[in-house]
Amino acid sequence: MMQLSVSNETKDLEEPVYFKKYTLAVFGDSGVGKSSIVRHLVGEKYMPDHVPTVEEFYVKPITHRNRAYELQIIDTSGTYEFPAMRRIAIHKADAAVLVYSLDKPVSFTKLERYMDEIESCCAERNRKIPVIIVSNKSDIPNLSEPTFVNANGLKISACVYLEGKFKCQWLATSAKFNLNIDSIFHKMLDKLSPDKNIVRKKSSILKQILR
Ligand SMILES: Nc1nc2c(ncn2[C@@H]2O[C@H](COP(=O)(O)OP(=O)(O)OP(=O)(O)O)[C@@H](O)[C@H]2O)c(=O)[nH]1
Ligand SMILES: [Mg+2]
């Protein structure tokens, strides 16, 4: 009886065992909703007001494909120009989330600057990190993604344009209504986790079946 209670106490004190810990850095222009996205993921309330971030750090345990991961998330500032802090965040990060929103057209054009910064910082240490581009505030009516023309003169969507130009995935979200927020982090874990080859194999098998 005595032994049982001791072992239960020990169990309570035990640290959870994570399959892996990853650091994600979230970048994007001022007011696009970076903090709102991260706050949603960690279970904090949506805030209707814009409170500019200096830099925040969050830890989120997450289960993905039956494995427990710990995400360490760096929420960076888009309002204040802190290039040195951004560089440190990029160096720490295993992956990056780049956010823009259609109510702030400049945030779309600034994607290229953030991407250059990520690539050049990573190149200094001879590495590459996966990036996901997020179009947030998809709930706002009457705002549509820009369209582009490809080399053959065909109209293409912002998603196809961005995925082709930056070789990364794209996702539309709404932090206000919690739409697709978790998918950002699950997509990222698919990219980062050692099972990614299995995922790729599965998707190529699917493609063959659908052909
Ligand atoms: N309609 C709508 N508004 C949003 C959404 N996400 C964030 N907002 C609003 O946009 C404003 C800015 O959101 P934040 O999350 O603080 O933006 P941020 O990118 O962290 O800004 P900085 O920290 O200054 O770089 C706030 O007023 C939010 O309520 C969304 O999905 N839909
Ligand atoms: Mg913020």
User: To test ligand 1's pocket by mutation, which of 34, 39, 41, 50 has the most ligand atoms within 8 angstroms of CB?
Assistant: 50
Which pLDDT score, from 0 to 100, does residue 197 have?
53
Confidence of residue 189 (pLDDT cuts 50, 70, 90): very high
Ligand 1 atom 2: the closest Cα is on which residue? 137
Amino acid code (one letter) for 89: A
Does 76 score more than 60 pLDDT?
A: yes
53 lines ligand 1 (CB under 6 A): yes
| CA–CA dist 21, 54 (Å, integer) | 24
The closest-lying atom of ligand 1 relative to the alpha carbon of residue 46 is 29
- Average pLDDT of the chain, as a whole number: 88
pLDDT band, residue 24 (cuts 50/70/90): very high
User: What does the alpha-carbon distance between residue 1 and residue 46 come to, in Å, rounded to a whole number?
Assistant: 47
Tell me what the mean pLDDT of segment 44-64 comes to.
95
**Measured between alpha carbons, how far is 211 from 209 in angstroms, rounded to an integer?**
6
Identify which of 160, 142, 135, 138 has the alpha carbon closest to the alpha carbon of residue 150: 160
Q: Given the DSSP bridges, would you call strands 20-28 and 155-156 parallel, antiparallel or unpaired?
A: unpaired
Query: Which atom of ligand 1 is least distant from the CA of 28?
Result: 19
Q: How far is the CA of 35 from the centre of ligand 1 (A)?
A: 7
